[in-house]
Amino acid sequence: MSNQKTNKIIVIGGGYGGLRTVEKLAKNPNNEITLFDKNPYHFMQTDVYDLIANEEDFAQVTVDLFTYCMGFDSNVVFYKQEVTNIDFKNKKIITQIQRYTYDYLVIAVGSRTKFMPSIPGLREYAYGIKALHRAMYFKQKFEMSLFNKVDESGTVCTPINIIIAGAGLSGVEIAAQMASFSREFYRRNNFICRKLNIVLINSGKTILKGMDKHLVKKSQERLLDLEIVIKHERKVVQLSSNSVKLSGGEELHMDFMIFAGGVEPNGLVYDLNLVKNEDGYIVTNDSFQVPQYNEVFAIGDCTTIYNNGERVSPTADVAEQMADICAKNIRNLILDKHLLKHNIKSRGTLIALGRGYAVSKLFGLYFNGYIAHIVKKIVEKVYAKRLDYRSNRGCKKIFNC
């Protein structure tokens, strides 16, 4: 039996970065790891477009965190508790139930949709899709609207008007998936009423700001092929229950609006006495430590990282790369070794643009159409299988089967 000191490690947040950190640190039996999240599940946000368009149900885009953590060799535990604050000086996290002591801490709480208070009606009438419950609620409303259009076939058949604000990756993928799903839905079932109007509001001159120009071009061509209207250099300035007012005075009728036009760190970050940048994200060094406390790390969407002066886009791939380095640096701290500095770059871009179609750039090579779609599905399935293996192992331990 080892006489080495037990390392108490707390990870806050069961997202991509948090789970990867747990997985890596759990390999050392002397690490006693506790994962905290207010939700009992991990939500695979990269699959949200499939959830909304009925290609997957909520069980396929979530992993139970209790069984996942039970799938390790007794040195990982999960608590469904919301962390409300952190006492960094005394190395304690504070939940609504009690306090827990740590030797090392990883903050991986992610981000949330930013409903700007400067836009009247935004929070009341728009849907975000970063949280599972919001995505599920919109999915149900969307399906009900499709049914209502079928139900009124042969009479009035008014169109469903969907506004998507934000032409980044999330907005573009959701617009394309909804348009292709509804097109297939109406045609496959030979319904007369087929009217679905999707308008994508983009504040910039092109969609997918900052991404590879070839991917942008192919994505825009696909959106136009799906008859999605793109309004460039426009911003949402006001919402009511059935209309959206844009900068310049234009007003659009809408049945639903998805807001994908901005994110901010999750609520806990605002309450922490840490150095933050002008957008409210936790500031870290190149090893992902916060400036004031060597034993505290921040990874994923709650922090901002740069490579050669350029901001690295926050993706699931980047969060997992951050987690790998973070886990190695905690190990190096324990062993009193030099810490690694990151040089993180995106390993590839995969953009889902409706059923059976995607565009991608992997290792400098471009793919589009069905081949890119298959590649994206393989990447998603490999990730899900890895989590499912651990969760199935934990489930067998719990139920002794």
Q: Is residue 148 predicted with pLDDT exceeding 60?
A: yes
Q: Is residue 265 predicted with pLDDT exceeding 80?
A: yes
pLDDT in tens, 80-105: 999 999 999 999 999 999 999 999 99
Same domain for 258 and 269? no
| 221: containing domain | 122-262
Average confidence score pLDDT of the chain: 90
pLDDT at res. 347: 81
* 45/58 Cα distance (integer angstroms): 11
Q: Of 299, 315, 346, which marks where a domain is finished?
A: 346
Average pLDDT over residues 242-268: 92
Q: Which CATH number characterizes residue 126's domain?
A: 3.50.50.60
> Residue 296 forms beta bridges with which residues?
105
pLDDT band at 194 (very low <50, low <70, confident <90, very high): low
Decide if 150 is inside a domain.
Answer: yes
Q: Is residue 334 predicted with pLDDT exceeding 70?
A: yes
* 169/166 Cα distance (integer angstroms): 9
Q: Is residue 184 predicted with pLDDT exceeding 80?
A: no
> Is the pLDDT higher at 295 or at 261?
295
Positive or negative torsion for Cα 12, 278, 263, 364: negative
pLDDT at res. 188: 67
Q: Is residue 183 predicted with pLDDT exceeding 70?
A: yes
pLDDT at res. 355: 85
* 322/24 Cα distance (integer angstroms): 12
Same domain for 241 and 161? yes
Is residue 91 helix, strand or coil?
A: coil
Same domain for 31 and 101? yes
Q: Is residue 191 predicted with pLDDT exceeding 60?
A: no
Cβ-proximal residues to 3 (8 Å cutoff; 6+ apart), any chain: none
Q: Of 202, 231, 262, which marks where a domain is finished?
A: 262
pLDDT band at 154 (very low <50, low <70, confident <90, very high): low
pTM above 0.85, yes or no: yes
Q: Of 215, 246, 262, which marks where a domain is finished?
A: 262
pLDDT band at 50 (very low <50, low <70, confident <90, very high): confident
Inter-residue long-range contacts of 92-95, CB under 8 Å, 24+ positions, other chains counted: 93/10, 93/12, 93/36, 95/36
Q: Is residue 167 predicted with pLDDT exceeding 70?
A: yes
Average pLDDT over residues 283-287: 96
Decide if 212 is inside a domain.
Answer: yes
* 16/14 Cα distance (integer angstroms): 7
Q: Is residue 1 predicted with pLDDT exceeding 50?
A: no
Same domain for 339 and 307? yes
Same domain for 127 and 185? yes
Q: How many domains does the chain have?
A: 2
